[in-house]
Structure 1
């Protein structure tokens, strides 16, 4: 039996490096012009240095270069045979396009996504779990509103939440992002919802920040199901209204078939039909209304799909715990 190098006690950095393909990384860099005017500090070395910085939780160029200098003799096997100065690293961070690292991430995700899926729990999970994608964002607070435009209304303190917003899409049975974008905290979330990237049979669970009738209609036409939370100020026409009660005469679930009408640029009128499912959240002691274009599935299934959306919140919590900001 071949001996595996992925075991407890094996250095984390070594395990990460073994997952990378040097030739592919350099190929992506050349395609995006990342190797122009480069003598020794190529994209491969740039990537392994930045991964080293993340794992060691460094937050300054001085810390990174000082640590690399102390470990120079141990890094020759990965191509680092020379002293890396702060100016070299700073210039590379400025000059080398982020599209290179995006391409590397997408390639790694495509290569290893089959390992990420929770097949061991397949008997316990519903059939729709493998088709479910979750989209959401979280804000990483940075310094003040001076560097990054703040998000939200002005509170009584006069300060808004400034920082970087992390927009993320995950597959419910994988737990790592399949797509991720970084913007200022003030960027609207809806730009991440892209109907053209989805296929028939896919399911999207999202928060109410992504409500967009034009995109929802495109999703419906492509055979994609969405489940989101209702906004209070939405205007619609009720086509049918049915309420189911418990044996005690209390409301259990209410199902409304509705139509939204919106006029877009150019004078075109969009008519989008969907279903509102209102149920009682016993723990929170309040009514929750969900909006979906699935007109046939059992309400309990729609509710279960939306509840699964909280999986992405666990990912955000893990990100912030593992990489705390000082």
Structure 2
């Protein structure tokens, strides 16, 4: 627990769209939401924020993910808004363990796919080793290796997929 940090944000909607650049469009009215986004880092063993930043509601969350502030063996938990392949690759190379929610729209290549079943024949967990590719500004291609871990949430009756570091590639230079 001492090494676990949780990063998340929440948007506080304000009364006026004039104060801040809006984020998202309301599905019925088409108007943008105005507001403030509160970005927070919490050390799990302390239960209080260690870093708080305020931005306009339109600011992308991934700016709070700073691999240089994390060390080998640190664990970071975040939601899917923080997915940035370059930052995730840097975390992996630094030996930082991460877990985040999987976005359905992500494109990847499956390198290995293994499913474990219960004795009744139902899926217990599925682990896929995958590779994400991104063309960087200079034309170089970045490849990030990771795992997608899928399990059945029996209470909500749905499959949950998490994106995590790849054990095979953690800390390799």
Normalising by structure 2, we get a TM-score of 0.93
RMSD: 1.2
Q: Which residue of 27, 30, 35 maps to 1:155?
A: 27
For 1:196-207, list aligned pairs within 5 A.
Answer: 196-207=68-79
For 1:260-271, list aligned pairs within 5 A.
Answer: 260-271=132-143
Q: Deviations over 1:13-67 (max 9, x none)?
A: xxxxxxxxxxxxxxxxxxxxxxxxxxxxxxxxxxxxxxxxxxxxxxxxxxxxxxx
3-state DSSP of counterpart to 2:126 = strand
Who is 2:4 aligned against?
A: 132
Considering only CA atoms, is the larger Rg found in Structure 1 or Structure 2? 1
Who is 2:171 aligned against?
A: none
Who is 1:3 aligned against?
A: none
1:144 Cα offset (Å): 2.0
For 1:53-132, list aligned pairs within 5 A.
Answer: 129-132=1-4
Do 1:226 and 1:294's aligned partners in 2 also have CA atoms closer than 8 Å? Answer: no
2:163 counterpart of 1:287:
no
Provide the rounded CA distance (Å) in 2 between the counterparts of 1:209 and 1:273: 19
**Which stretches of structure 1, 4 residues or longer, exceed 6 Å deviation after superposition?**
none
1:294 Cα offset (Å): 4.3
Number of aligned residue pairs: 168
3-state DSSP of counterpart to 1:214 = helix
Instruction: For structure 1, list consecutive stretches of 5 or more residues without a partner in the other structure.
Output: 1-128, 297-326
1:286 Cα offset (Å): 0.4
1:150 Cα offset (Å): 1.9
Provide the rounded CA distance (Å) in 1 between the counterparts of 2:90 and 2:152: 30
Provide the rounded CA distance (Å) in 1 between the counterparts of 2:109 and 2:151: 20
Q: Which residue of 23, 45, 63 maps to 1:173?
A: 45
Q: Deviations over 1:133-153 (max 9, x none)?
A: 000100112112121222223
Provide the rounded CA distance (Å) in 2 between the counterparts of 1:259 and 1:243: 18
Normalising by structure 1, we get a TM-score of 0.50
Q: Which residue of 216, 221, 224 maps to 2:88?
A: 216
More strand by share: 2
More helix by share: 1
Do 1:241 and 1:255's aligned partners in 2 also have CA atoms closer than 8 Å? Answer: yes
More contact order relative to length (CA 8 Å, sep ≥ 6): 2
1:283 Cα offset (Å): 1.6
Who is 2:54 aligned against?
A: 182
